[in-house]
Structure formats: C-alpha cells, structure tokens
Structure 1
Amino acid sequence: MTFRSSLADTPLLKVSRPVSACSRCRSAKVKCDNKLPACTACEKAGREKECTAANDQFARGKERSYVAALELRIEKLERRLSYACSTNASIALHGPDEPPAADPNRKDSLAFIRAAIHRKAARTQENADINALVSDFGYLAVNTTTRDFEPSESNMTFARLVLAAATNEPVPEPKSTSLPAESTARALVQFYETSILPLYPAFPATMLHALVSDLYQEHPRQIRSSEYWLFWMVLAISSAAQSRSREDEHYLNGVEFVGRALPHADRALRPGYGTQVQSLLLLTQYSMLDPAHFDSWHPIGFTCRAVVDQGLHQDPPHTQQISPAALDERRRIFYCVYALDRAISMVHARGFSFYDDAVSVALPSSTLASGTLSGLSMSKPPADPSIPLFKLRQLQSAWYQTLYQGNPTESLPDATSFIWQKCFEMWEWSERLPVDMSAPIREMLDLELRYSYVYCIASTARGAQVSAYGKLLIFDHVIAYVDKMYDIANLADKAAFYTYHDALRVFFMGSQFVAVLREIGDLLLSGSSIPVPPPAPGKVSPPLRPVRLDRGTGDTLDRSLRCLERIKLTLRLFGNRWEQALSLMDSFEIISGEVWKDFTTRRAVRDATTTGQWQQMPHA
C-alpha cells in the first residue's frame, strides 16, 4: 500500500513548533507569559538566567525547525554533563580517563564512589556524543522524502535519528525472535481493530489480517521490514493498551514486541516511501502508552514532518489522476496524523507542527463505508467515529491557535464572545454525533468535549479574565469529567483508547478546579446565584450549565471535596500503569493542599454545627 504524490519533492510548508512556555514553566505545569528577557514566573523564583525565554532562539515570531526541541534537550544534557564532570573532578583522585586504582568491591570506600562516578560520566559522554550527532544533523536541509539515508552499519539513518530523539529509556533486548502463538496474535489484532483502528484508520484492517495469515503459513512469502514493523507494533500497542500495571503481563509483552520491531526500524521508517508515515504513526501511538521508554512529542513531530514533505497536507491538484480509493486513503492518513498532533500538542501545552492555514485536505469518507474495518458481522455496524474525532480536532485547533499560539502581547478583541462562540460550535458538534455510535467511544468523545470546554474557557493568554460564570462552568465540567474518568480508571477492561495523556488531562482539569475553588470558593459555598452574563449584541449567549450527573450526592462542599479526592485517586490508579502519573499526583497534592485543608475544616465545622442543632431539638 504505497502511494506517491507529485507534491512530494516540493513541500509547501516548513514545519515549525513554536514553544509556548519556557522549560521551567512547562515542567511545573504552570502558565508562562513568555515575557522577555525572562518570564514572570522565573523572575519571581530568582531563576532569570535559567529561563529559556531569555535565549533569543525562543523569541516569539522566529520560526524554529522541528529539531529545535532536540537542541534544547542537548543544552540541558550538556549542563548536566558539565556538572557531573565538575563533581567528578572534586572527588576523584585520578584523571577522568584513568580507572580507579583501589578495590571497587568495598561499597563504603571512596574508590567505589569514584568508580560509580566514572561509569556514569562515561555513559553521559556517550549520550552527549549521540545528541551532538543529532544536533549536527539538524543543521542539514533534511527532506523526509529523500532516500540518501539508506541503512548501513556506519551511518546515521532517519530511523536512528527518530529513535535517538524519542527514546527516554532503552528498550530491553527481546527474549525471543519467534512469532507468538497465532491465537495470541489474532486476539491482539482484533483488539486493535475494534478499539484503536476505528479512531485512527491509517491502514485497512483487511491488510493487517492478510499479513497475519501470510506470517503463519507453513511457507510464508517474503515479508518486508515495513510489514514486520506493522505486525509487531500493532501487537505492542494492543498489549500496552490492555495493561493495568507496569509489571503485568500485558505491559511486559508490549515491551517485548517493541523490541522485536526495532530491528526493522531502518527500513520501515526510511524516507520516501508511503509506509513511512504509517510506521511513524504506530511509534507515536505506542509512545503514548509507554512514556517510560518513549516521549510522544518527538515521534509526532517527525511524523508531521514526513506528512508535509510528502505533500499530504494538501489534496492533489485536479489535474493529477488518482483513484477515489487512493485519495480517501491519503486523506485518512493525513487526518490521523493531524488528530494526534493536535491532541499531543494541547496536552503538553505546546505549539502545533503546522497551522491550519497551510492545510487543504477534505475529510475522508466513512471508514466503514470504504471497507477499512473488517469482521463486522452485525446487520448494522456502529457509526464511524473517526470523522467526528477529526471534526473535533479541527474545532479545538481553531481556538487553540487563536488563544494560545497568537501573540500574547496583543489582546484579542472581545475575547469573551470568541470563547462563547467556540463553545457553541463544540456543543453543535456534540449534538450531531451519530446516535448509533458505540457507547465506549461516545463516552470518550464526551470526555474530550468537557476537557475542551474547560481548556477554552480557562484561557487568559489573549483575553479578559474568566468571569465568575465561566468559573462556574469550569467547576461543573471538571466534576463531571473527574467522576467519569475515575470510573474508567477503575474498570478492568476498556473498549476505547486511553493513554498516559489522560493522566495529564486529569492533572490539568484538577489544576483548573483548584484555581476555581481558590478564586470563587466562598461564592460557591454561599449558595449565591451566579447569573448568566448577557451576550454582546449580535453574539451567541454563554452556554448553559451542564446537567448534574451526581444529583443527590451532597452539596457544593461535599462535591468539591469528593472531586479533589477522586483526582488524587485517579492519578494513583494511573500510577499503577505509568510511574510518571505518581509524580502528577504528588504535584496535585501540593497545589491543592491549602484548598483541601480549608474545605475539610469547613466541613468539620458544618457537621459539628448540624449535630449540635440536632441534639438541641426536642425529641418525642
């Protein structure tokens, strides 16, 4: 399944990924105002010199290539290496290249400490050499359609560049190279087909099933590296998606399958072939499920670069002869990448890989109508969920670019009306969802909608401060979101595609919830009515409050405390799968500690008062 475009050698766009926050604010998950020479948060903390905004390469308005994120990472590694070398020099009695003379078996000896530092410095130097090579590569004019980077033992291939940038921890060597039992492989393929492929139909399920059949024949045909990559990565994604603990069999199998796929990376990811984008897309999907080994930010950046360099961000001209099926496949591949790029960029609060103004691709037809999915034996299959997902990503992209990627020094005229308009458009989208959509995927899209409402309303980058009514909407949507996500985190089986990014979303929603309680907590607890603000002339009205899904489960005080508790519990449950989620939980406990203490004290006083009043009442 390869396809070529006449635009492949003349890309219409250079990819840029503008950084919207300095590294310190991004690590702390706080808003960065991008002020130069240092942002306000870094100034208050006395870290002006460490603020990346002080570096001219981050000045707003300057385009950055897709390797700029790699350069920043290299700078950090160089600083850490410099610190390690200085530490080594102050402790070691030998030069950096000399082995320790004393017996390193004594764990309490200074020689043991020197030996450990020596080994760590060697590993750091090796990593620095790799990153330096990546940095040098970034100065070249790279076009991902070129075929100059063919695999060999001695050169830097495109796949090795991608993996060097995306890998957090090396994947262990696979324990075996043999195929799993055919029943195991077909069960994992079926899971991918029913839970993930409907949302991201980058290739036909019929092709995947045919590949499995070919692999398990007594005398299989010659299988290409890109096909092996497809097979092993689908198995890895399906296994990791079913994991509930980073120590369970599903997760370990996922890591094992990735290890078996990596030897095929050079051929599967090589530039200039239609399968390159699908292969990069699979790596991105797996990285969202295994942040311990891969960082999803870099794979999606490389995937977008490949999409643009191959011209997939533009429909081919009418003069180019292309079959309707091939055109539809091309569009599906683009929108799968588009949807993941928007989702990953938003969850990390970073810029998109390309702007919507550079995109001219019509939405594809239904995957079910075009036969992308197979094995649907029911008389009326459920509605295709990929098209609604693509449309939601388009709506999110429109307001995110305006509110978060626009110039923060320029106020957006009538920002409040703009936000209400975007909320109305997303509400209209939700009202048009097919009634026969599968329940798990519809539930996932409903969570995406509430997340989008909060993200859009909470924006203050280019607009007026959030009104009390806007904060009330955030309060309601966060509670509904957290209640549902808490239930999902407790489920043993999930039919939709939930990843580590959902833990990041829970933390974001919790942070917005804490901010609302800090700012209008007294108003909410007082029971005072917060009126709906009147719309500006000719503008849409603010959205109405959502219907409560937790009726009869307590007043505002009880609901607030229960939501705070469930945020922590949800992150703890996610922490069983992703260790990074435990760090999010610890951070949330810190930022919510003051509000939690205040509200628990209020509840204790309320309960004591209620008990005292009951005891004073005359009883028959």
Structure 2
Amino acid sequence: MPRSSFSDNPLLRVSRPVSACSRCRAAKVKCDGKLPACTACEKAGRENECSSANDQFARGKERSYVAALELRIEKLEKRLAFARSRKASVNLHDMDEAAAPADRKDSLANIRAAIHRKAARKREDADVNALVSDFGYLSVNATTRDFEPTMGNMTFARLVLAAATNDDVPDPAEDSFPTRAEALATIQYYTANIFTLFPFFSETHLLTVLDVVFQQDERAKERLKDADFWLLYMVLAVGYTAQSKTHDDEFYRRGLDFVARALPFADKALMPGYPTQIQSLLLFTQYSMLDPSHFDSWYLIGFASRAVVDLGFHQDPPQLQVPDKVAFDLRRKMFYCVYALDRTISMIRTRSFSFTDDSVNVEYPSPSGPSTTLITGPQSADPALLLFQLRRIQSEWYQTLFQADSGPLPDAASFIWQMCLEMREWNESLPDNLPSGIRELLDLELRYSYVYCLAPSDRSPHLTDYARKLIFEHAIAYMNTVHGVAHGASTAFYTSLDALKVYFVAMQFFAVFNAARELLISDARIVPPITRPGTAPPPPLPHRPVGGEDSVDRSLRCLQQVVETLSRFSERWDIASQLKTTNSTRTTTSSNISFSINSSHRDRLPHIPITISHMHRTRRLSRRNLTLITSHIRPTRHLNISLTHTPRSSWVILQCKSRA
C-alpha cells in the first residue's frame, strides 16, 4: 500500500529540523527548532529574525505545520488551474468545430467530437469532485488531528468518556474470559437479535477477529488493530448485557467486564476521521442503552452523529466515485443506524435531533433478505430496513409537531391523520416471515408512535374525543404487549429506553382518562371527525375481541400492568435517575385520575401496589441502587391514581389511593 506524503496528510506536530535557523547557524550554536522562534533567538530578543521553513529545508520536510498546509493549498490551486484550462480548451475546440466548413462535418467526425466532449466533461467533473473532496479532507484533518494520542494527554476518546460516563467501570476479573464456544454463542445471540436491526459492521470481519484472538499465534494478534479488539469486546459486552434480567446478575457482570477490557483500546478505536470511529461509537451507544448507570446514551449518540456528518456520510457521493459497492452499502448502513438511534433517543428524551432530515440525502441500503424483489422492495425478513423506514416517518412528524415553530399548525388534524396513515401503511407492508420477537418489537414501536403523534403539542394543542379514544386504545394495547415482554423470555433488543416509553405511554393514558373518563369507560361509539376532500381519513380504532372485557376492567388491568412492568424494569435499570435526566428541564410532571366505581365492579378490583422508587448512592460500591417500597391497598368505592415525578429530587411515585 503506497504511503501518503507529508503534504497530503500533515501531522499536527513539529518534525525534526534538517538545519538550524540562520542566526544560530551563523553563531554556530545549538538550535532547538522551536516554533515560532527558537529558544536562542527568544533569549536574544531576536524572535522576528528567526528563520522559518524556506528553501534551505528539504521539500516535504518543513518544520511548520502551517507551511505544510500552504504547500497542500498550492498543489490544489495548481490542480484547479489545470482543470480550468482544460475546460477552456474544450470550449475553444467546440467553437472551432462550429466555424469549420460544412463539408468537414461528416458523420465520423461528429461521432468522434461527441465522444471527446463527453469524455472531457467526465474528466472535468471528476477533477472538480476530487478537488472538493480534498478540501473537505483537509478541513477535517486540520481540526480532528488535535486529538491524536501523540499530541498530549487529551484524546478524543477521553473527551467522550469524560462527557458520557456516569459511574466508573471496575477493573476486569482475571479469570472471567470465556471459552471460544461461549464467546461464539454470545456473538450468535447478538447477530440474531441486535445486528439484524443495526447491521453497521461486517459479520465476517467480526468472526475473523474472534478466531485470531483465540489463536495461540501472537504474531497474528499483533496484526489486529485497536478497533478490532474494541469491536469484539463491545459486541460481547452488548450480547451479554442484553440477556441480563436484573442489575447484578451473571450476564450483567460479564458484560461490564468486557467493557472494562475494551476501554484501554478507546484512544485508537474512537479516533476521528475513520469509519471505525462510527462503528465503535455505535457499539458504545448500544451498551449505554443497556447500562445507563455507567454511561449516558444521549452524549454518545451525539458524538456518533457528529462523526457521521464530519465524514460526509449524511450525503451520498456521485455514482462515479463508488468503486466498491459493498463498502458503499456498509456506509449507508452505518448512517441509518446512527439515524435510527438518534431519533429514538431524542424522542424519548424530548430533545432536538442531532441533524434534521433536510440535511440528509442518503438512499436506503440494499435489502439483505432472501425474498427481496424489485417490485415489492424491502418486503422480506429485513428488519433493519423496516426499522429505518419507521424512523423516517417518526422523524417527519416529530420535527413538525415538536421541533418547529411554537405557533399552531394550520390544519394540524389533517397532518396527523396523514402521518397515521403512513404508519398504518408501513405496518400493513410488514412481511409474514418476520421473526415473532422482531414483529412484537415493531408492533410496540408502532403503538408508541401512535400515542406520541396523537398527544397534544404546542403545534396541535387540542384533542378531539376521537383522538382521546385512539390514545386510550393504543395505550392499553401497548401495555398489554410490553407487560408480556417484561415478564416473559423475549430475546428482542429491549433497553432502558423502553422503560421510559412505558412511563410516557402511561402518562398519556392517564391524561386522556382524566379528561374524558365518562366517555371512555362508557363504551359509547365515537363518530370520527369529518375531513376535507383530498386529505387522509382518521385512522380506525384498534380491533377489540367481541365479548371481551368492558372498559372499566381494561382500564384497571392496564393500570396494574403499568405498575408491574415498571417494577420489573426497575430490577434491571435505574428508572428514577433516567426520569430525572429526561425531565430535567421541565416542572413537576403529574397526572391524576379519579372515577367512581359502583358495587358491581368492587369485587373485580385487583390488589394495586403503591410503588415508590428512590435512587441513592452507596459510597463503598460507588453505584446507583434502586430501592423499591411496596404496599398493597384494596380500593373500595373511589379510586385515585397519581403518577408523579419531581425533577428537583430523585423520587418517582406511582400511587393508587382509595377513599369511601
């Protein structure tokens, strides 16, 4: 592989000078080559006379980084002048042809001239594109090389860790490294349940690294890069932690152990300017979503989004500059994985996206499913493409309703019905051969999206009774499914963000119930609102089994599922501190429901616990622990439900009180 010259890739450091400055050379004293003036000239007060890089130094060995950049600019200017002169010569050639006698314009000459002009235009376009890419590369490297390990103690990786670390990671255990069979089983779990949604690296490369690590050949291990070790260890960390059920079980400890093994390779793995930085940050973000007590996913996905923009992955290059189709498709996958995680993390934390859709011009990556056709598109078992499509729809209505101007949106109902229609069409296009766990996860995402899109906002502050009924039905369906996930053996990729989604959906359920409780529990038919011609119709209500529970029973069961699901998730994640971070810019969030229960419903009421979650610190363990205090009450005649979070403290209270 040919090595690039110093002027093509200048290092942000001072190379050893090939000669002393002119003053030290004349005085025959030692010159340390310090810039902008050597020490001898500084002491003598002759800083202005200290020579910089000039003709006495070898070309390409300048002492000054600025001089190297000037040389690079000079080369680019020469290339630009050459491209312009070529364009002028082509134009002159066209003018000469127009002035030529008619008898010379035979068919063969015309064909040759057309071919020549087309080739010249292609060469010119290629030169201009290469020139622009050179300027972009120069800009990125001039800023990001400051974080190379050779420049001092501060590296980009340490900046990332300083911003995103919530708690220190303990040192790895000496005897905790698994066998190759155990590591391979964990990798297979990761690829089957997580990689299928976020395919941002090569599976073949991962297995190659695994084989080399477990070989006895030390020379082969030395050929591995730091990013390779980071890839393997973080995949194992995510794979183990994703199987954890409680905060301190064996899977969690093994995952944390592999994070500790990966961190020594962070300086090179997270170095800016390379695609491996994006892959490393994505793995780091995935782990932080599973272990929020140690790392903050909001900061990590922010760094990943900036890395994507810095490398230009948010814009597809011209087709002429795509020699490797496989690498180009992987580039698109990396972008959309960052896009999907940025959207879901920003939405649940009610924050702005790292970049808007207007700045994005990237086609979807090629489908990888076996049954994909050019007619149906991604109608195969390709969950990643399906997830990317849903994130694009979510991004559109979230930016319009929650990130745009605060003024009311003209005809907000039509816009919301259109977004609901697109999400319903997306759901109807899901293939039948999707794995059951993936289908269940996508169904939860759809229910959550319906509730979020229909919820009141500054641009759509008013809810109709039909919209309240939609939120009511989708929230009950969401809670019924997520309750089974929390208490079942689902292998899909559920994270601490899903606990926040449960809290959000519960808050919306309580809000609409409090606003229209009599209407919602009466099971009366609600007429859909009338829409203007040419606009999307209101979405239909979710299907309910005939002869099932009435709305009172369904509401009580939904309430109990909220309590049990949050209690189960709190055994795995520190929900209280996440809610405190999520709502740090808000006032106290509270929703109360009260409704009368007649004697016929009294015997059906379940035991509903009061759940108080409190986060506190233990100095010896230096970690956040969650204390659950539960007691049981049986409502008698009047049920009062309160779900409260106070940002100034770390308390999250879900209460059910009864009074006669």
Report the TM-score, using the length of structure 2 for normalisation: 0.65
Match of residue 326 from structure 1: 327
CA distances 1:329-358 after superposition (whole Å, capped 9, x unpaired) = 110110011011111111111110000010
Q: What is the CA-CA distance between 1:318 and the residue it aligns to?
A: 2.9
Match of residue 528 from structure 2: 532
> Structure 1 pair 183/584, CA: closer, same or farther in 2 (3 Å)?
same
Q: Which of residues 554, 561, 566 in structure 2 aligns to 1:559?
A: 554
Q: What is the CA-CA distance between 1:557 and the residue it aligns to?
A: 1.0
1:432 aligns with 2:429: yes
> Structure 1 pair 468/370, CA: closer, same or farther in 2 (3 Å)?
closer
> Structure 1 pair 468/169, CA: closer, same or farther in 2 (3 Å)?
same
Gaps of 5+ in 2: 1-8, 10-138, 373-378, 606-660
Match of residue 248 from structure 1: 249
The residue matched to 2:183 in structure 1 has which SS? helix
In the alignment, is the contact (CA less than 8 A) between 1:201 and 1:367 conserved in 2? no
Q: Take 2:317 and 2:142, find their aligned partners in 1: how far apart are those partners?
A: 19
Q: Take 2:463 and 2:231, find their aligned partners in 1: how far apart are those partners?
A: 46
CA distances 1:307-338 after superposition (whole Å, capped 9, x unpaired) = 00000000012332432111111101100110
Q: What is the CA-CA distance between 1:190 and the residue it aligns to?
A: 0.6
Letter in 2 for 1:308: V
CA distances 1:194-245 after superposition (whole Å, capped 9, x unpaired) = 0000000001212111111111112151221101101110011011100000
In the alignment, is the contact (CA less than 8 A) between 1:483 and 1:566 conserved in 2? yes
Q: Which of residues 570, 578, 583 in structure 1 aligns to 2:573?
A: 578
Q: Take 2:316 and 2:498, find their aligned partners in 1: how far apart are those partners?
A: 32
1:512 aligns with 2:508: yes
Match of residue 489 from structure 1: 486
Task: Give matches, 1:196-345, under 5 Å.
Answer: 196-220=194-218, 221=220, 222=222, 223-345=224-346
Q: Take 1:539 and 1:202, find their aligned partners in 2: how far apart are those partners?
A: 38
Q: Which of residues 384, 406, 411 in structure 1 aligns to 2:408?
A: 411
Q: What is the CA-CA distance between 1:291 and the residue it aligns to?
A: 0.5
1:193 aligns with 2:194: no
Q: Take 2:272 and 2:171, find their aligned partners in 1: how far apart are those partners?
A: 26
> Structure 1 pair 199/144, CA: closer, same or farther in 2 (3 Å)?
farther
Equivalent residues, number: 456
In the alignment, is the contact (CA less than 8 A) between 1:503 and 1:581 conserved in 2? no
Q: What is the CA-CA distance between 1:265 and the residue it aligns to?
A: 0.4
Q: Take 2:316 and 2:575, find their aligned partners in 1: how far apart are those partners?
A: 40
Q: Take 2:494 and 2:310, find their aligned partners in 1: how far apart are those partners?
A: 30
> Structure 1 pair 488/552, CA: closer, same or farther in 2 (3 Å)?
farther
Q: Take 2:356 and 2:303, find their aligned partners in 1: how far apart are those partners?
A: 16
Q: Take 2:231 and 2:214, find their aligned partners in 1: how far apart are those partners?
A: 15
Gaps of 5+ in 1: 1-8, 10-140, 372-380, 611-620
Q: Take 1:180 and 1:275, find their aligned partners in 2: how far apart are those partners?
A: 25
Report the TM-score, using the length of structure 1 for normalisation: 0.69
The residue matched to 1:146 in structure 2 has which SS? helix
In the alignment, is the contact (CA less than 8 A) between 1:415 and 1:464 conserved in 2? no
Match of residue 364 from structure 1: 365
Match of residue 613 from structure 1: none
> Structure 1 pair 542/271, CA: closer, same or farther in 2 (3 Å)?
same
In the alignment, is the contact (CA less than 8 A) between 2:370 and 2:380 conserved in 1? no
Match of residue 17 from structure 2: none
In the alignment, is the contact (CA less than 8 A) between 2:140 and 2:273 conserved in 1? no
> Structure 1 pair 261/144, CA: closer, same or farther in 2 (3 Å)?
farther
Q: Take 1:227 and 1:299, find their aligned partners in 2: how far apart are those partners?
A: 20
> Structure 1 pair 202/177, CA: closer, same or farther in 2 (3 Å)?
farther
In the alignment, is the contact (CA less than 8 A) between 1:144 and 1:272 conserved in 2? no
Q: Take 1:300 and 1:579, find their aligned partners in 2: how far apart are those partners?
A: 20
Match of residue 456 from structure 2: 459
Match of residue 149 from structure 1: 147
CA distances 1:107-158 after superposition (whole Å, capped 9, x unpaired) = xxxxxxxxxxxxxxxxxxxxxxxxxxxxxxxxxx987972231125942100
Q: Which moved more, 1:166-175 or 1:275-284?
A: 166-175
In the alignment, is the contact (CA less than 8 A) between 2:514 and 2:592 conserved in 1? no
Match of residue 650 from structure 2: none
Q: What is the CA-CA distance between 1:554 and the residue it aligns to?
A: 2.3
Q: CA RMSD of the aligned region, Å?
A: 2.9
In the alignment, is the contact (CA less than 8 A) between 1:174 and 1:260 conserved in 2? yes
More strand by share: 2
Identity %: 50
> Structure 1 pair 345/609, CA: closer, same or farther in 2 (3 Å)?
closer
In the alignment, is the contact (CA less than 8 A) between 1:145 and 1:309 conserved in 2? no
In the alignment, is the contact (CA less than 8 A) between 1:297 and 1:344 conserved in 2? yes
| Bigger RCO (CA 8 Å, 6+ sep) | 1
Q: What is the CA-CA distance between 1:170 and the residue it aligns to?
A: 1.0
Q: What is the CA-CA distance between 1:604 and the residue it aligns to?
A: 4.7
CA distances 1:350-402 after superposition (whole Å, capped 9, x unpaired) = 1100000100000001234699xxxxxxxxx9711111110000000011111
Letter in 1 for 2:478: Y
Match of residue 602 from structure 1: 597
Q: Which of residues 494, 501, 512 in structure 1 aligns to 2:497?
A: 501
Q: What is the CA-CA distance between 1:526 and the residue it aligns to?
A: 3.0
In the alignment, is the contact (CA less than 8 A) between 1:243 and 1:249 conserved in 2? yes
> Structure 1 pair 591/526, CA: closer, same or farther in 2 (3 Å)?
farther
The residue matched to 1:148 in structure 2 has which SS? helix
> Structure 1 pair 559/582, CA: closer, same or farther in 2 (3 Å)?
farther
Letter in 1 for 2:366: S
> Structure 1 pair 189/538, CA: closer, same or farther in 2 (3 Å)?
same
> Structure 1 pair 579/301, CA: closer, same or farther in 2 (3 Å)?
same
Q: Take 1:523 and 1:155, find their aligned partners in 2: how far apart are those partners?
A: 64
Q: Take 1:443 and 1:435, find their aligned partners in 2: how far apart are those partners?
A: 13
In the alignment, is the contact (CA less than 8 A) between 1:351 and 1:405 conserved in 2? yes
Q: Take 2:209 and 2:513, find their aligned partners in 1: how far apart are those partners?
A: 54
The residue matched to 2:395 in structure 1 has which SS? helix
Q: Take 2:553 and 2:408, find their aligned partners in 1: how far apart are those partners?
A: 38
Q: What is the CA-CA distance between 1:415 and the residue it aligns to?
A: 0.3
In the alignment, is the contact (CA less than 8 A) between 1:230 and 1:279 conserved in 2? yes
Q: What is the CA-CA distance between 1:606 and the residue it aligns to?
A: 4.3
Q: What is the CA-CA distance between 1:179 and the residue it aligns to?
A: 3.8
The residue matched to 1:196 in structure 2 has which SS? helix
Q: Take 2:247 and 2:154, find their aligned partners in 1: how far apart are those partners?
A: 32
Q: What is the CA-CA distance between 1:583 and the residue it aligns to?
A: 7.9
Q: Take 1:464 and 1:156, find their aligned partners in 2: how far apart are those partners?
A: 47
Q: Take 2:278 and 2:604, find their aligned partners in 1: how far apart are those partners?
A: 64
> Structure 1 pair 506/274, CA: closer, same or farther in 2 (3 Å)?
same
Match of residue 384 from structure 1: 382
Q: What is the CA-CA distance between 1:498 and the residue it aligns to?
A: 0.3
Letter in 2 for 1:447: L
In the alignment, is the contact (CA less than 8 A) between 1:460 and 1:466 conserved in 2? no
